[in-house]
Amino acid sequence: MKWVLYISDFMIPLIIFGILVYGLLKKINIFDVFIEGAKGSVNTILTIMPTLIGLMVAVGIIRASGALDMIERGLKPLLKFTSFPSELIPLTILRSISASASLGLVLDLFKQYGPDSFIGRLISVMMGCTETIFYTMSVYFMSIGIKKTRYTLAGAILANLAGVIASFYITIWVFGR
Amino acid sequence: MLNYLWGFMILIGIIVATFTGTMGEVTQAAINSSKEAVQICITLLGVLAFWMGIMKIAEKSGLISGLTNKIRPILRFLFPDVPDGHDAQKYIATNLIANVLGLGWAATPPGLLAMKALQKLNLKKNEASNAMCMFLIVNISSVQLISVNIIAYRSQYGSANPSEVIGPSLLATCISTVTAIIFGKIMERRKRS
C-alpha cells in the first residue's frame, strides 16, 4: 500500500484523537461541547438543502436531456493529445465559478461513474484542492471596495490549474487508471 | 452569476430535450434529483454533525487559538508588509486555520475582517495590496486538510472506502498552495504598476 493511502486511513482518527486528548487535558466537558457543536449542523444543512435541491434538479435535467453528453463529446477532440477525461471539463470550469453548481455536477458524476471509478476518485481529489475563484474574489474585494485586483485572478487560476493537473497525476499514481 | 447559470442549465436542458426526444427523462430527472438531494442532505447531516461536534471541542479547548499563534512565522513570510501583532495578522491566521480544518462557514467572517484590516495598511485604496493578493490566492488554492463533505458524498454513492482520497487530496492541495505562494512571491518582487 502506498504511503499516501496510509495518510488517508490515519488522518481522521488522528485529528479526533488529538482534539479529544487536548480537550481532556484542558478539563473541558468534551461530550457536552461535542453535543453543542453537533447541533449547529442542523442549521447548516437547512441552509444547504434548498440550494442543493435546486442545483441537483438543474444538473439532472441537463444530464437527462443529453446536452451534457453533447458538450463532453464536443470537447473530446480538444483533449485528444492529453489523457484528461473530457467528462471533467465542464466540472473544472464550473468549479471556478460556483461551488454549489459544481457540487451538483460532482454528485451527478458520482452517480454516473461511481465514486470508486477513476473519474470518481479524480473528482474527489480535485474538489479537495480547488476553490471557487470568482465568488471568493468578488465577496472579498467588494467588501472593501477594491477595483483593481492586480495579479489575484492570474494567481488563482494558476493555483487551481496546478491543483487539477496534480490531482490527475496523483490519482493515476495512487490508484492507477 | 448563479441566477444565470441555474436558469441556463434548466432552459438548455429542456430545449435540447425537445430535439433529442428525452422530455420524459427530463421530467423524471427533475423529480428524482430533488428526492436525491434530500437523501444526500441526510447523509451529510450525520457526518457534519459529528465533525462540527469534534471541531467545537477544538475551539472551546483553545486548540484553534493556540494554532493561530503558532503559524505566525509562516504569516511573516507570506505577508512581510503586515506588522507583527497587527489585527490583520490575527484575522488571517483565524481564517487560514478555519480553512485548514475545513470549517468553511467559520472562515469567511475573519477573512472579511482580515481584508478590512489589510485595507487600513493599503496605500492605494482602490488597488489590491501585495498582502491582499497573497491572501486571496492562498485562500483560493485551498488549504483544506480534509474535505468531510466529499467523504460524505462518496459514502452516499456507495464507495467501498470513502476516505481513501484524503491522502491524495492533501498532496494535491500542497502542490496547488505551493504554486500559489511561489506565484505570489514572484509577483511581489515586481514593481507595482
Domain residue extents for chain B: 1-49, 62-189
Neighbouring residues of B169: CB distance < 8 A, sequence distance ≥ 6: A124, A125, A128, A129, A167, B146, B147, B150
Name every chain B residue with its beta carbon within 8 A of the beta carbon of A126. Answer: 172
C-alpha B141/C-alpha A89 separation (Å) is 19
Query: Which residues 10-69 on chain A approach chain B with CB closer than 8 angstroms?
Result: 11-12, 15-16, 19-20, 22-23, 26, 28, 30, 33-42, 44-45, 48-49, 52-67
Q: Do B171 and A115 touch (CB under 8 A)?
A: no
CA-to-CA separations, A163 to A31, B72, B74, B169, in angstroms, rounded: 37, 26, 21, 9
pLDDT tens by residue, A80-124: 777 888 889 889 888 888 877 888 999 999 999 999 999 999 999
Q: What is the pLDDT of residue B65?
A: 85
**B119 neighbourhood in chain A, CB within 8 Å:** 144, 146
The answer to whether residue B67 neighbours chain A at the CB level (below 8 Å) is: no
Q: Which residues contact B79 (CB under 8 A, 6 or more apart)?
A: B88, B89, B92, B131, B134, B135
Q: Which residues 7-66 of B are in CB contact (within 8 Å) with A? A: 9-10, 12-14, 16-17, 20, 22, 25-26, 28-30, 32-34, 36-38, 40-41, 44-45, 48-63
Nearest Cβ partner for A125 among B54, B146, B169:
B169
**Contacts with B45 from chain A: Cβ below 8 Å:** 41-42, 45
Q: How far does the CA of residue A85 sit from the closest CA of chain B (Å)?
A: 18
Instruction: Kindly tell me the number of DSSP H helices and DSSP E strands found in chain B.
Output: 9, 0
pLDDT digits (tens, 9 = 90+) for A28-76: 999 999 999 999 889 888 988 898 899 899 999 999 999 988 888 888 8
Per-residue pLDDT at B139: 92
- What parts of chain B have a pLDDT lower than 50? none
Looking at the partner chain, which of B112, B126, B144 has a beta carbon nearest the beta carbon of A145? B126
pLDDT for residue A37: 92
Q: Say which of A40, A106, A171 has its CB closest to residue B52.
A: A40
Residues of A in contact with B61 (CB under 8 A): 19, 22-23, 26, 28, 33
Nearest-CA neighbor of A105 among A93, A137, A117? A93
Of all residues in chain A, the one with the smallest CA distance to B126 is A146
In this prediction, residue A1 has a pLDDT band, given cuts at 50, 70 and 90, of low
ipTM: 0.88
The Cα-based distances of A98 to A42, A91, A170, B64, B171 in angstroms read 23, 10, 25, 29, 24
Q: How far apart are CA A118 and CA B134, in angstroms?
A: 33
Residue A19 in contact with residue A13, Cβ under 8 Å? no
Give backbone dihedrals phi and psi of B127, rounded to 5 degrees, phi first.
-120, 140
Partner residue facing A151 (CB), from B37, B115, B187: B187
Please indicate whether, in this complex, the C-beta atoms of A129 and B165 are within 8 angstroms of each other: no
All 3 cell numbers of residue B95?
481564517
Average pLDDT over residues A153-169: 95
What is residue B192's predicted lDDT score, i.e. its pLDDT?
54
pLDDT tens per residue across span B98-152: 888 877 777 888 999 999 999 999 999 999 999 999 999 999 998 888 888 899 9
3-class DSSP state of B127: strand
Residues of B in contact with A3 (CB under 8 A): 167
Instruction: Find, in chain A, the residue whose alpha carbon is nearest to that of B29.
Output: A60
